[in-house]
Structure 1
Amino acid sequence: MGEGLRYVGAAERRARLGLRHRLAGAARAGSPEEVADSLVALHGTDPATVYLAVGARLAEPAKTVVETERALYEERALVRMHGMRHTVFVFPTRLTAVVHASTGLAVAARERASLVKHMATAGAPDAAWLAEVEASTLAALARRGQATAAELAADEPRLRERFVYGAGKSYEGVHTVSTRLLRVLGVEGKVVRGRPLGSWTSSQFRWAPAPAHPELDVAGAQAELLRDWLAVCGPATEADLKWWTGWRVTEVRRALAATGARAVSLDEGTGYVVDGDVDPVAGPEEPWAALLPGLDPTAMGWQRREWYLAPELWPSLFDRSGNVGPTVWWDGRVVGGWAQRGDGEVVWRLLEKLGSVERRAVEAAVAVEAERLRGWVGAARVTPRFRTPLERELSA
């Protein structure tokens, strides 16, 4: 622990989490926009995660689906796009330029170079041909407003061209130009995911033109993104910040210095908070329970998770790639997992050892949250994209 620095223990970190992540009862939000603003980013790899993460944090979740779709697809107050670690997130629209400059540009350069290289290796047409197809595709998308890859290929047939990726390798496969090109255009900030073809749980997305945004200075954008995230998730270590952003450690340190972040002492070493956030934070007045979905931004918010998730629970709650499944929370820590069965029933299991009095309190609170969740999910059936051992067992 850092000598002379204020110590922030696990209990205070959990208190901050409950309030700033909109999970404690009195801290719940009034709209999806408030949730996204509070969390900076909602994981969007699994479409259902966005809605489940919002619903868990709304004071009145009955209109979760309607209000989230309004924000995403009608008002465009929220945008689904590639962000940190080349992962799909949902961001407040105000942050699209910041995310693009701070994390997207570097990834986009690598993705385009990779596509051109793979096409050349496969004997596919050259970069000039690809540029023609790209311009034609963007023009078609502008005319349509939003479209699937198949609809765009009807306007620009060259999108259907195929090339072999990784010939002779164990991962050899055949890619269409549309699959790879639309991915590149996404990380370049030229297109974003639009309304899905099916329900809110569907992963069959249309594409839409990206909202216009200014081109920002990379260092300035990184400082702004880090400041926003630390205000929600601080204190956090350099390792947490490097993991969450996907930046080099030199970029993390530069952004910390630019924001005037303050150092504090944590159990795992030195952590950082935004300037003015060093003083102790009082916790919620009442303990709280929450059912958070797989890939929830709170559960996936830090690289070091021991302060809110006991290591012995990890084998049940994570898949082999490190993706977290649905989790049961009690007053700032993970105590179990949950799932939805085929008949719609929400079931859970407590994994952490609790005293009899606390266990009864947790069970009563979780039962309320399960009924709350089932009430707004309705007839929808949600299966996490990345399934974990406990979720599989409970849903069977």
Structure 2
Amino acid sequence: MHRISDEQRRIRLGRRHLLAPSVRADSPVAVADAVVALHATDASTVFLSACARLGEPSVAAVERSLYKDVALVRLLSMRRTLFAVSAELAPYVDASTARAIAVKERRTLIDHLTDDVNGLDERWLAEAEEAALAALATRGSATGSQLSADVPALRTKITVFPGKKYETVQGVASRVIRVLAADGRIRRDRPRGSWTSSQFHWTASEPWPALPAAEARAELARHWLLSYGPATEADLKWWTGWTLGDVRKALAAVGAEEVGLDEGTGYVAPGDMAPEPTVEPWAALLPALDPSAMGWGDRGFHLSADHRTALFDRSGNVGPTVWWNGQIIGGWAQRTDGNIVWRLLTDPGGEAAATIEAEASRLSGWVGEARITPRFRTPLERELTA
């Protein structure tokens, strides 16, 4: 069996994830396609991940891709997480993953509505959705609060998990908006504040064309292997949230080839076994939830187990990380005065320290007056900002 070393995997990561300066991209869409999908749970991550990989970092370019050209779109998809993907790849993400999640989201909401204590039904939900869409058509773009003001049904309160110790009363507006977005009937428009804000306006959208789920999974697996391969079945299962059966069928459908890894058997896209050309030494300051840290279940080839406690929260979310030549060697944060600070958890040498300093200066330069606080805070990030 052909073997691919951990060192070769790190070289692939630097080149294919556009992290070395010589391979940086010229558009946010090219960045998203290079890593398949940008994590979008935290609004700032999309911008930080994209600009770290752009030859010319530009908030305006990312905003244009998201809101004017709609060349990047947000989908609730892999692992029930919000991602930003290119409009070209979006139908495959939708059919392979997002469709099933949307069905579950709607079913869960209907179960809550139809509980005896709430006394609502599917017809009520359908009418509330149509009223919300009509209000949105009139406004063109609206916040959830504006839609609630226009549609009385959206001001309804429901009791969730009645009789349980975690019983709670919720407004229904955010739940209705969530299922409309999951179905592709509305999408997030510009935020109320700056690019770091997660309080979005909403605007009308059209559902993605229906594709066979198995074919879509195979196509998504092919893209993922080209970006993250070699990788294991377990890695793909973790990243997608698919069943092991669906993972194996997708790998077989795409013709994935087995290779030997330091930790066992992995897979690459067909014909993708040749050594990757080396790139120049590189450093990167990547944000919380960046794809290069969250792309595999097993990160042993680029992350020391000793560093995990400092850099991840208890739910497995990675914080801001410092990279050197394909390995995570520390973490960074932005303090309230705007300063970018970092701590290295291993000594990479003088060349690395100087390159990291330059990359921190580059980050500080384009971030400007914006202030970044990750949604999922990690021990080292908290320590650096204390």
Tell me, yes or no, whether TM beats 0.5.
yes
* Residue in 2 that maps onto 1:43: 39
Deviations 1:46-95 (A, max 9, x none): 0011111011111111xx21110011011101112211111011110112
2:216 aligned with 1:221:
yes
Whichever residue aligns with residue 391 of structure 1, its letter is: E
SS in 2 for 1:298: helix
Identify if the C-alpha distance between structure 1 residues 212 and 143 changes in structure 2 by more than 3 Å, giving closer, same or farther: farther
Q: How many residues align?
A: 385
Deviations 1:109-141 (A, max 9, x none): 211111111112232311111111112212322
* Residue in 2 that maps onto 1:261: 256
Whichever residue aligns with residue 190 of structure 1, its letter is: R
2:383 aligned with 1:393:
yes
What is the alpha-carbon distance in structure 2 between the residues aligned to residue 264 and residue 10 of structure 1?
Answer: 12
Q: What 5-or-longer segments of structure 1 have no aligned partner?
A: none
Identify if the C-alpha distance between structure 1 residues 94 and 144 changes in structure 2 by more than 3 Å, giving closer, same or farther: farther
* Residue in 1 that maps onto 2:349: 359
SS in 1 for 2:318: coil
What is the alpha-carbon distance in structure 1 between the residues aligned to residue 251 and residue 138 of structure 2?
Answer: 43
* Residue in 2 that maps onto 1:204: 199
2:328 aligned with 1:328:
no
Whichever residue aligns with residue 392 of structure 1, its letter is: R
* Residue in 2 that maps onto 1:79: 73
What is the alpha-carbon distance in structure 2 between the residues aligned to residue 179 and residue 326 of structure 1?
Answer: 29
* Residue in 1 that maps onto 2:4: 8
* Residue in 1 that maps onto 2:286: 292
Q: TM-score, length-normalised on structure 1? A: 0.95
Q: Contact (CA 8 Å) 2:79, 2:241: kept in 1 or not?
A: yes
* Residue in 2 that maps onto 1:237: 232
What is the alpha-carbon distance in structure 1 between the residues aligned to residue 376 and residue 175 of structure 2?
Answer: 23
Q: Contact (CA 8 Å) 2:320, 2:332: kept in 1 or not?
A: yes
Write out aligned runs for 1:275-290 (5 A): 275-284=270-279, 286-290=280-284
Residue 254 of structure 1: how far off its partner (Å): 0.8
Per mean C-alpha deviation after superposition, the further-off stretch among 203-212 and 302-311 is 203-212
What is the alpha-carbon distance in structure 2 between the residues aligned to residue 73 and residue 171 of structure 1?
Answer: 38
Deviations 1:29-52 (A, max 9, x none): 111111112111000000011111
Write out aligned runs for 1:1-396 (5 A): 5-61=1-57, 64-121=58-115, 122-284=117-279, 286-352=280-346, 354=347, 358-396=348-386
What is the alpha-carbon distance in structure 2 between the residues aligned to residue 96 and residue 59 of structure 1?
Answer: 25
Q: Contact (CA 8 Å) 1:288, 1:331: kept in 2 or not?
A: yes
What is the alpha-carbon distance in structure 2 between the residues aligned to residue 384 and residue 244 of structure 1?
Answer: 21
Residue 155 of structure 1: how far off its partner (Å): 2.5
Q: Contact (CA 8 Å) 1:328, 1:350: kept in 2 or not?
A: yes
Q: Contact (CA 8 Å) 1:325, 1:386: kept in 2 or not?
A: yes
What is the alpha-carbon distance in structure 2 between the residues aligned to residue 170 and residue 318 of structure 1?
Answer: 30
SS in 1 for 2:362: helix
Deviations 1:171-229 (A, max 9, x none): 22212221111111222222222110000001111122234531111111111111111
CA RMSD of aligned residues (A): 1.2
Per mean C-alpha deviation after superposition, the further-off stretch among 368-377 and 24-33 is 24-33
Indicate the percent of aligned positions where both proteins have the same amino acid. 55
What is the alpha-carbon distance in structure 1 between the residues aligned to residue 327 and residue 106 of structure 2?
Answer: 41
What is the alpha-carbon distance in structure 1 between the residues aligned to residue 203 and residue 262 of structure 2?
Answer: 45
Residue 262 of structure 1: how far off its partner (Å): 0.9
Deviations 1:280-331 (A, max 9, x none): 22221x2100000000011101000011000100110011111100000000
SS in 2 for 1:344: coil
Whichever residue aligns with residue 29 of structure 1, its letter is: A
Whichever residue aligns with residue 56 of structure 1, its letter is: A
Residue 359 of structure 1: how far off its partner (Å): 1.7
Whichever residue aligns with residue 80 of structure 2, its letter is: H
Residue 144 of structure 1: how far off its partner (Å): 2.6
Q: What 5-or-longer segments of structure 2 have no aligned partner?
A: none
Q: Contact (CA 8 Å) 1:104, 1:189: kept in 2 or not?
A: no
Residue 145 of structure 1: how far off its partner (Å): 2.6
Q: Contact (CA 8 Å) 2:283, 2:355: kept in 1 or not?
A: yes
Q: TM-score, length-normalised on structure 2? A: 0.97
